[in-house]
Amino acid sequence: MVVVSDDVHEYAMALKDTEEKIARCPARRADILDELQKSQKVFAEKLNHLSRRLAWINATVYSKEKMLDVYWLLRVCIRTVEHADRTGSLFAFAPEFYLNVAMNAYSALKNYFSPANSMDDLPGYEDTLTQLAAILAKHFADPRIVGTDIKDSLMQALASYVCYPQSLRAVERIPEEQRVAMMRNLLAPYEQRPWAQTNWILVRLWRGCGFGYRYTRLPHLLKTKPEDTNLPSLQKPCPSLLLQRHMAELLSMDKDMAASFLNSVLNQLNWAFSEFIGMIQERHMAELLSMDKDMAASFLNSVLNQLNWAFSEFIGMIQERLEPEQHNKSWLPSNWPERNFVDTRQLKVCATCFDLSVSLLRVLEMTVTLVPEIFLDWSRPSAELLLRRLAQLLNQVLNRVTAERNLFDRVVNLRLPGLESVDHYPILVAVTGILVQILVEGERQG
C-alpha cells in the first residue's frame, strides 16, 4: 500500500514537471517537444495504471468494513486488558499478545487505511483512544510485566502516542492520578532502566516550548527530503502544558526524587557527550592520516621506528632469558600512537550520542524552566551541587562546540554520511535555553 502510494505520488510529480516543460518549450525545438510528449504519455499511462491499482487496494484490502473489523478487535483487546488488570497480581499471567494486538491494531488504523475512511467517524473513537492511553500510561512501567520485548513495545507505543495532537489529548483526558503516576515513572532515575525512550517522551512533552525549539526538522536539513514524513519524530511540536505542570509539582514537592532524577540526567549527558567527542576524535585522526600525506608519512615513520626499537628490545630480552613476570610495560613510550578508523556503524552510534546529548539538554532546560528552585533555592541541600555540576557540563559542551576550526567544527563542515544531524544549532540553542532561564530566574529570586 505504502509503496504503491509513493509511486503514484512520484509519477504525478514527474507528469506535472513534464507538462510544465512542454509549456515552456519553444516552438522551433520540435525534436525536444516530441521527446517531452512521449515522456508525458509514458508517465500518464503509468500513473493511470497505478491509480487503478491503488483504488483496487483501497476498495478490497483497506475497505470501510475491514477498518471496522480492526477497530472491533482493538476494543476487544482493550476490554480484555482492563479486565485482566483488575485481577491484581494475576495480571502477570495474562498473555502478552493482547497488548501487542491492541498496539498493532491502533497503528493499522492510524497509518494504513485511506484518508477517505477517517478514524474520527468510528463509533466511540475518542473514548477508545483514552482507554488505550490509560493502558499505555499505566503498564509501560508496570512491575507485573517482566518480558523485555513487551516492555519495550509499550514504551515505544507511548513515545509515539505523545507525538500526535489527537492521541496526546487522549493522554491528558485520563484520570489525574494516572497522569501523575505516569509522570512519576518517567522521572525515575535513569540508571535503573532503559532511559532513551523515557527521555524522548519528556522531550516531546517539552518540544514547542523551549528556546529555539519550535522546528519540526533541523534548519540545516530543510533542503533535503525526509524519508518518511509520517515518522513520529517529524511531527509538528505539540507540547502538553498539563503534563508539564504535573512534572513541576512532583519535582518541587519531592526533593529526593528531584535530586536523584537530575543527577541521573547529568550523568547520562556527561557519558553521551564524552562518547560523541571521543568518536569524532577517532574519525578526525583517520581523516588527517588520509588527507595529509606528510603527516601520515611522519606518523608511520615514527611508528616503524618505535616498532623496530620495541621488537629489538623484546628479542634482546628473550635472548637474555628473562622471566616475563619481572617486566612490565613501563619501558613503552608514554605517547605510543594508535591508529583508529571508524566504520559506518560507529558513525551512526556517534550521531545517536549527539542526539541523546541534545535531548538530555532539552530535559534539563525543561526542568530549569518549570522548577528553577531545584538549582537556585539554597535551602535545598542538593541545589549547590546540582548547579555546580550543571555549570561544569555546560562549560564542557561550550568549550568543545564553540571554538573556531576545532574538531567539532571540522566534523560539521565535512557533512559526513551518517552525521547529518550533527550541527552547531541544535546543541547551542539547548545550552542557551538553559543559561537564559538560569539568568532570568536568578535575577527574579535575587
pLDDT in tens, 358-401: 888 999 899 989 988 888 888 888 888 888 888 988 898 888 88
Virtual CA dihedral for 270, 344, 399, 415, nearest 10 degrees? -140
DSSP 8-state secondary structure symbol assigned to residue 236 = P
**Residue with the larger pLDDT of the pair 138 and 308:** 138
**What pLDDT, on a 0 to 100 scale, did the predictor assign at position 79?**
95
Structure confidence by residue, pLDDT tens digits, 108-163: 888 877 666 778 788 888 999 999 999 999 999 888 988 889 999 999 999 999 98
Q: Which of 339, 281, 342 is nearest to 307 (CA)?
A: 339
Can you tell me the distance from the alpha carbon of 438 to that of 368, in angstroms, rounded to the nearest whole number? 7
Question: Looking at the predicted structure, is the pLDDT value of residue 302 above 70?
Answer: no
pTM: 0.74
Determine the Cα–Cα distance for residues 308 and 316; give it in Å rounded to an integer.
Answer: 12
- Looking at this protein, which amino acid is placed at residue 53? R
The three-class DSSP label of residue 292 is coil
| Per-residue model confidence (pLDDT) at position 295 | 57
Say whether pLDDT at 293 is over 60. Answer: no
Q: How do residues 315-351 score in pLDDT, each as one tens digit?
A: 444 344 334 433 444 444 444 344 444 467 777 888 8
Q: The C-alpha cell of 133 is what?
A: 492511553
Choice between 259 and 334, residue whose per-residue pLDDT is larger: 259
- Side-chain half-sphere of 31: how many Cα atoms within 13 Å? 0
Residue 248: CB partners within 8 Å, gap ≥ 6? 370, 371
Span of 26-35, 96-105, 330-339 with lowest mean pLDDT: 330-339
Sign, Cα dihedral of 15, 16, 18, 22: positive
pLDDT level of residue 243 (50, 70, 90 thresholds): very high
CA 222 to chain centre: 18
Residues 6+ apart with CB under 8 A from 313: 331
Distance CA 278, CA 186 (A): 29
Q: Which helix (H) or strand (E) holds 162?
A: none
Residues 76, 80, 81, 85, CA torsion sign = positive
- Measure CA 232 to chain center: 10
State residue 435's pLDDT score: 93
pLDDT score, position 324: 41
Query: pLDDT-based confidence at 413, cuts 50/70/90?
Result: confident
Report CA Rg, the chain. 29
Q: Are the C-beta atoms of 238 and 208 separated by less than 8 Å?
A: yes
Closest CA to 430 of 330, 359, 380: 359
> Who wins on pLDDT, 338 or 261?
261
Choice among 98-102, 395-399, 410-414 with the minimum mean pLDDT? 410-414
Q: Residue 323: is it exposed, middle or buried by C-beta count within 10 angstroms (0-12/13-18/19+)?
A: exposed
Q: In angstroms, rounded to a whole number, what is the distance separating the alpha carbons of residues 225 and 216?
A: 13
Sign of torsion over alpha carbons 193, 195, 196, 200: positive
Q: Report yes or no: 238 and 220 within 8 Å, Cβ to Cβ.
A: no
Of all residues in the chain, what percent carry a pLDDT higher than 70? 82
Domain ranges of the chain: 2-60, 185-446
Per-residue confidence (pLDDT) for residue 81, from 0 to 100: 94
Best-predicted range by mean pLDDT (55-69, 202-216, 320-334, 408-422): 202-216
Query: Average pLDDT, stretch 411-426?
Result: 82
CA distance 181 to 308: 65
163, HSE (Cβ side, Cα atoms, 13 Å): 18
Residue 322: the pLDDT is 31
Average of per-residue pLDDT values in the chain:
81
Listed ranges 160-174, 179-193, 366-380; the one with the highest mean pLDDT: 160-174
Burial of residue 39 (CB within 10 Å: 0-12, 13-18, 19+) is: middle
Cell numbers describing residue 81: 486488558
